[in-house]
């Protein structure tokens, strides 16, 4: 019942906005992911040393205008495909926190992933001066240098372990888009399970239905 309602609301939101129901204001960015090889998650793309070309998206969850603080999103498409969707958080990875800048604080998965080594949160920590939370300003910010994020695996009662460095270097054209979905584009050793995964799956499906988008490439955002 909850899943049906979630999908219906997402579809309505997408039709109302004429676009994404979730994180509608954002910008696609080209970058690289340099994997350290110390992940131990059972996911080769995050466990074995390598360098990948990736596409990421920085976005505003509530679509608040301009530089107003918002719960910000960082989505990354890994080879596979595997989609990682993270949101700005507080001192604990499970506490969402609005931010006034895309590099003003850490991002985290909302809930822990189920991995081969137990529950784990994926956390991205920015390493650069403040970049305002306005997607329209990202090309200008990237003109001054890439945005760097340290990708970490965080577990309860353990120190976070390094996974990779994400370097975002260029904004893609404003009309470019990509459908990110961590449930459809996941890995058997890094799984979103339980109620949130089901609700998220139906929200993304409803959003795509509302927009009339069924593809996983440019022009088919969720």
CA separation for the pair 170, 144 (Å, rounded): 11
Which of 200, 90, 206 shows the shortest CA–CA distance to 154? 90
Better-predicted residue by pLDDT, 2 or 180: 180
Q: Is residue 151 scored above 90 in pLDDT? A: yes
Tokens standing for residue 212: 């009339």
Q: Which domains does the chain have, with CATH numbers?
A: 23-189 (2.40.180.10)
Q: Is residue 135 scored above 50 in pLDDT? A: yes
Torsion of CA 175, 179, 180, 184, to 10 degrees: -170
CA separation for the pair 65, 163 (Å, rounded): 33
Tokens standing for residue 65: 């205008």
Q: Give pLDDT tens digits for 184-198.
A: 898 999 988 777 666
Q: pTM of the entire structure?
A: 0.80
| Element of type H or E holding 86 | strand 82-88
Residue in this structure with the two tokens 């270097």, named with its chain if needed? 169
Which of 120, 192, 194 shows the shortest CA–CA distance to 157? 120
With b meaning 16 or more CB within 10 Å and e meaning fewer, what string describes 83-107?
bbbbbbbeeebeeebbbbbbbbbbb
- DSSP code for 70: B
Q: Give pLDDT tens digits for 110-124.
A: 889 988 888 999 999
Q: Check: CB of residue 119 under 8 Å from CB of residue 110.
A: no
**Average confidence score pLDDT of the chain:** 82
For 128-194, give the DSSP string.
SS--BS-GGGHHHHHTT--EEEEEEEE-TTS--EEEEEEEEEEEPPTT------TTTS-BTTEE--H
Of 116-125, 162-171, 208-217, the range with the lowest mean pLDDT is: 208-217
Tell me what the mean pLDDT of segment 81-89 comes to.
Answer: 95
- Output the pLDDT for position 2: 39
């Amino acid at each position: 019942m909850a899943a049906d309602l979630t999908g219906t609301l997402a579809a309505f939101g997408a039709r109302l906005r004429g676009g994404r129901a979730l994180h509608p204001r954002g910008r696609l960015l080209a970058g690289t992911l340099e994997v350290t090889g110390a992940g131990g998650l059972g996911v080769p793309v995050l466990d074995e040393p390598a360098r990948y070309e990736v596409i990421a998206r920085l976005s505003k969850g509530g679509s608040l205008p301009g530089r107003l603080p918002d719960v910000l999103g960082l989505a990354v498409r890994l080879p596979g495909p595997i989609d990682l969707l993270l949101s700005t958080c507080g001192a604990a990875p499970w506490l969402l926190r609005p931010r006034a800048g895309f590099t003003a604080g850490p991002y985290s998965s909302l809930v822990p992933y189920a991995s081969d080594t137990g529950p784990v949160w994926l956390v991205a920590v920015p390493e650069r001066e403040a970049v305002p939370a306005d997607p329209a300003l990202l090309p200008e910010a990237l003109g001054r240098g890439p945005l760097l994020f340290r990708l970490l695996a965080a577990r309860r009662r353990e120190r976070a372990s390094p996974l990779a460095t994400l370097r975002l270097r260029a904004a893609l054209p404003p009309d470019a888009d990509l459908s990110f979905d961590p449930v459809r584009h996941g890995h058997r050793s890094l799984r979103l399970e339980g109620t949130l995964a089901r609700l998220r799956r139906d929200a993304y499906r409803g959003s795509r239905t509302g927009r009339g988008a069924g593809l996983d490439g440019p022009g088919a955002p969720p």
